[in-house]
């Protein structure tokens, strides 16, 4: 399998493949950049259709983490890891400990945290084998009711960013009656739905896991929708909060919402889809900007964790997005292109 000629290879500093026969672990770690600090990023476990699909995902995700950290104003680089397997059937303590040993073998170039398909308990198992972990609360934080799970901060950051996008595209601050379609109501999507429900928004939801949909319907009065229909609903906001590549040349013309603002990584299937979004009259909140709440929270985790400081930093997500939107309106350039340029000015300086 070629890495250097891969279309998603972007000068990554380190790409490592690992197989542990005893536990069955098959995993890839990609470190995109350490120019601002160690490459921090979550560990995703997913039943990829092929090794090539897993490589594509980890290369794209790790690159996004570099850009995310830069625009979030954090002293760290970008990395990511993926485990090939179904988290509902293939996960085991032995597999997670083997993943910890894999992380340790990179000697601190990569710091692992939880992501789709993994959880804080999984990271604790990895931490038995490596010091290079993020998103684990210390004893004082646990006593105060914190687990280290970055999902609440990610969801709050997306909510703040969604407010900024609605203000820019629709000219409104009040979200009461706003119609939002959420694709994916897992850890982050569910919490985003709660924020929106409390703000008075009307929700339509979908997820591959039916109990997650049922919970959103029961708790928030949401309307359940088929996965293949969620993006084309006649709503104000489309919020992709599942896996990436949902914005492509087929789906973009079908989107009726004026705003795209969600937690999913790598929402654009291809870079040129950013121009397609703009040409279709949609305002897109670049994913790695709006979903940076989790790494912001992880940065402050540990002794002296101050919730007010974290929330103040999360508010900067809205400020950054407003600047991106303003530049996009003024130059008629895609928001993702502008965000990339802003991030590169930071980490390539």
Q: Which residues are catalytic?
A: 80
Other Cβ atoms closer than 10 A to 241: 29
Q: How far is CA 234 from the centre of its chain?
A: 25
Q: How far, in Å, CA of 234 to CA of 229, rounded?
A: 11
289 closest CA partner among 73, 5, 2: 73
Residues 161 and 168 sit within 8 Å (Cβ to Cβ): no
Q: Which tokens belong to 98? A: 């083997």
Up-side HSE of residue 243: CA atoms within 13 Å toward CB? 15
What SS3 class is residue 152? helix
261 closest CA partner among 327, 329, 322: 322
Q: How far is CA 91 from the centre of its chain?
A: 22
Which DSSP state fits 232? G
Enumerate residues 6+ apart whose C-beta is below 8 A from 279.
none
Q: Tokens 């998103």 label which residue?
A: 135
Residue 67 parent element (H or E): helix 51-71
The CA-atom distances, in angstroms, between 317 and each of 19, 179, 344 are: 38, 22, 17
Residues 27 and 84 sit within 8 Å (Cβ to Cβ): yes
Up-side HSE of residue 148: CA atoms within 13 Å toward CB? 23
Q: Which tokens belong to 276? A: 């397609």
275 closest CA partner among 244, 307, 252, 309: 252
Write out the DSSP string of 11-53: S-SEEEEEEETTTTEEEEEEEEE-SSSSEEEEEEEE--SSHHH
């Amino acid at each position: 399998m070629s890495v250097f000629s891969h279309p998603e290879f972007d000068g990554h500093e380190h790409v490592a493949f690992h197989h542990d026969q005893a536990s069955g672990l098959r995993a890839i770690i990609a470190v995109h950049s350490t120019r601002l600090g160690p490459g921090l990023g979550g560990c995703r476990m997913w039943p990829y259709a092929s090794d090539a699909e897993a490589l594509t995902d980890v290369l794209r995700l790790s690159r996004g983490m570099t850009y995310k950290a830069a625009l979030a104003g954090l002293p760290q680089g970008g990395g990511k890891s993926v485990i090939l397997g179904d988290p509902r059937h293939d996960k085991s303590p032995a597999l997670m400990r083997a993943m910890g040993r894999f992380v340790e073998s990179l000697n601190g170039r990569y710091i692992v945290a939880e992501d789709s398909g993994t959880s804080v308990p999984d990271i604790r198992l990895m931490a038995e084998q490596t010091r290079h972990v993020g998103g684990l609360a210390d004893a004082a934080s646990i006593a105060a009711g914190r687990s280290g799970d970055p999902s609440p901060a990610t969801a709050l950051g997306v909510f703040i960013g969604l407010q900024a996008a609605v203000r820019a595209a629709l000219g409104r601050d009040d979200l009461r009656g706003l119609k939002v379609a959420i694709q994916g109501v897992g850890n982050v999507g569910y919490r985003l739905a709660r924020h929106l429900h409390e703000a008075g928004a009307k929700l339509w939801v979908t997820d591959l896991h039916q109990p997650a949909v049922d919970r959103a319907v029961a708790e928030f009065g949401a309307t359940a929708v088929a996965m293949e229909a969620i993006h084309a609903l006649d709503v104000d906001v489309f919020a992709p909060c599942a896996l990436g590549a949902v914005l492509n040349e087929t789906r973009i013309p079908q989107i009726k919402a004026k705003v795209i603002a969600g937690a999913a990584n790598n929402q654009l299937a291809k870079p040129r889809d950013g121009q397609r979004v703009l040409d279709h009259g949609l305002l897109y909140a670049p994913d790695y900007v709006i979903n940076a709440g989790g790494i912001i929270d992880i940065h402050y985790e540990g002794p002296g964790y101050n919730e007010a400081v974290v929330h103040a930093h999360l508010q900067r997500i809205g400020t950054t997005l407003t600047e991106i939107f303003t530049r996009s309106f003024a130059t008629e350039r895609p928001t993702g292109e502008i965000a990339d340029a802003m991030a590169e000015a930071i980490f390539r300086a």
